[in-house]
Structure 1
Amino acid sequence: MRKILTLIISGILINSCSSSQGDFTYLDINNNEISKSKFRQKRSTNQYLDIQIDSLNQKKLIERTKTGKLENFEAYRSLVSNKTSVKLDNTKPLVIIYHPGKDACNSSGSATKETLKNWHKTLEDGVQQLKANAPIYLYKEKEGLEKYDGVLNWHKDPDGLTEKLFFKYHYPCSSFVVISSDGEYISYFGEFSKEYVWNAINLISK
């Protein structure tokens, strides 16, 4: 009898663990429940990312871009400038590239120091042509940035403020935000191309 009871309890625990690890509720950007197939269909476009909500077995779609206006922008800009020792032109847009920490996206790939250097030089040349401040590279966690040694100067996100203001979740690879001189901003979540940064500068400068 005791053996039977033990087997029953073990079976319940196994099923419970299996269920908790594999069964998800899928939510759209407005927190409405949708089917898994609908979720995957929307996720397959470049308009959305998905995040897993901790401990709730929920996966939620989020839009990859967000716009808004930052209150007390002058204080944020001053903090970033002081903590990174980067002199900023207050009449030009501020460009922040944000590294959230090591993940499967930013720790994979075959990029070399040379290709990384060339990619970022092209990015920065384009930013300069669009009359924005040179990008400032901020990180939450330094792990995963070793490949940039000798390529880029990364700085710790001062007081974690950039994360709090713009990057609520850990988005894969890295993200960026462009902020106009009057505090209007466009943020983009997850892996991006140089052109996305340039387009954001163009939009925010109009």
Structure 2
Amino acid sequence: MSDQVPPGRSTDPGAADAGAPLPPVSPGAADGAGAPPEPHAASTQKPDVGKRVIAYIIDAVVAGVLSYVPVIGSLLGFAYILTRDGFSFEFMDGRSLGKKLMKLRPVRDDGGAMDITTSIKRNWTLALGSLGYLVVYAPFLGIIALSLLLTLVGAVVGIIEIYLVLTAPDGRRYGDRFAGTHVVETDS
């Protein structure tokens, strides 16, 4: 018998056989980064459309109430619609008041926490209509046509977004796709 070890083989009995195929390893698996994301909600199925509509109505009422604040109200309403899903306050738990009351949660597809940037990416399509109201209060009287145009575009985009929530198999609208998010039902 020969004491020679074939190329690519080890004499260490605990070493992996260099000739044998290795199991696939996802990037970052050693530190947990390649592991599947933790579930953030009770369900990953398409949430009840009625709950989503009611949640949006609640959020629109909040934005409407904020818009009555003298001088800066329209800006506050616009900012709420844009950033409503990114608040990290413990009682809001990364979701808007409407979603909290309706037990819904926007979650990122990559499993990361919702933040203001993701909320802006997700909600800019819905904030377009509010932007039209902001322009009305600008000091330039000649931009009322721009305000009307923004409001009209916002309404059309809003209708498209609602249509997608109703008809898309996963219930994702353009804002969700752009931000890499989806909405799920939760237990709380």
Bigger helix share = 2
Bigger strand share = 1
TM normalised by structure 1 equals 0.26
Give the structure with higher Rg (CA). Answer: 2
